[in-house]
Amino acid sequence: MRADLNELLILNNDLQLGLIKHAIFDFDGTISILREGWEKIMEPVMIESICGDHEPTSEIINDIRRFIDETTGIQTILQMEGLVKMVREYGLVPEEKVLDAWGYKRIYNDRLMVPVRERIEELESGSKTLEDYTLHGALKFCRTLDDRGVTMYLASGTDRNDVVNESEKVSAAQYFKGGIHGAIGTIEEYSKGNGIKEILKAHRLSGPE
């Protein structure tokens, strides 16, 4: 059963309520929509990388769209590692022209940051408001949790420097006193899953907390 906008859907009736002390949020698509439309940027980057001078087939396009859909939410570098694998599997690009995951990530990130910077400029100029580039009610929800003493954390697959900057631009950073976490290098250095485990371990948290 789906809840409407005025209902609260409880998935676990046995959960003891009122004990939450910590809350972990994703950033892009949960609080901020500065990066909305990233899929439409990643898709052509992947098509160009896989096809080179060849025209993309419907099979390639469908594979790319399925890959993007299935990997939404994971770190960008992992998506780019998947791209490297796809480039080699299709074999349309000479091996000497195949980049590593970091090379493809730079291409994608350079293109993605064009609209992101434009949106930030719109916020700074006043031509757009926070409501235009945050999910409806997200900042109010964060403020409410903060007022109730809940320690909040941001755990994102986006590069940490970008998460810090963009969370400040949409006035969300002030609420995340537990820390703002993002990609800093390899998956061994940071992953969202490991970050969450560290928070649970450091504060000895149980489910209701």
CATH number at residue 178: 3.40.50.1000
| 121 in the same domain as 60 | yes
User: What's the structural domain count of the chain?
Assistant: 2
Give the percent of the chain with pLDDT over 90: 69
| 172 in the same domain as 107 | no
The confidence band for 6, taking pLDDT boundaries of 50, 70 and 90, is: low
Q: Do β-strands 22-25 and 151-159 pair in parallel, antiparallel, or remain unpaired?
A: parallel
| 147 in the same domain as 69 | no
| 139 in the same domain as 81 | no
pLDDT digits (tens, 9 = 90+) for 141-157: 999 999 999 999 998 88
pLDDT digits (tens, 9 = 90+) for 19-45: 788 899 999 999 999 999 999 999 999
Boundaries of domain holding 166: 22-33+134-203
Residue 200: its pLDDT value, please? 75
Residue 117: its pLDDT value, please? 98
Indicate the residue among 76, 93, 125 that finishes a domain: 125
Q: Residue range 55-84: average pLDDT? A: 95
Residue 41's identity, in one-letter code, is I
Indicate the residue among 125, 151, 177 that finishes a domain: 125
Please say if the pLDDT value at position 137 is more than 80: yes
The confidence band for 190, taking pLDDT boundaries of 50, 70 and 90, is: low
Please say if the pLDDT value at position 70 is more than 60: yes
The confidence band for 188, taking pLDDT boundaries of 50, 70 and 90, is: low
| 116 in the same domain as 74 | yes
Name the pTM for this structure: 0.82
CB 84 within 8 A of CB 146: no
CA dihedral 181, 167, 161, 113 (to 10 degrees): 130
Residue 3: its pLDDT value, please? 45
- Mean pLDDT computed over every residue of the chain: 89
Q: Closest Cα to residue 20, out of 208, 200, 206?
A: 208
Please say if the pLDDT value at position 64 is more than 90: yes
| 53 in the same domain as 27 | no
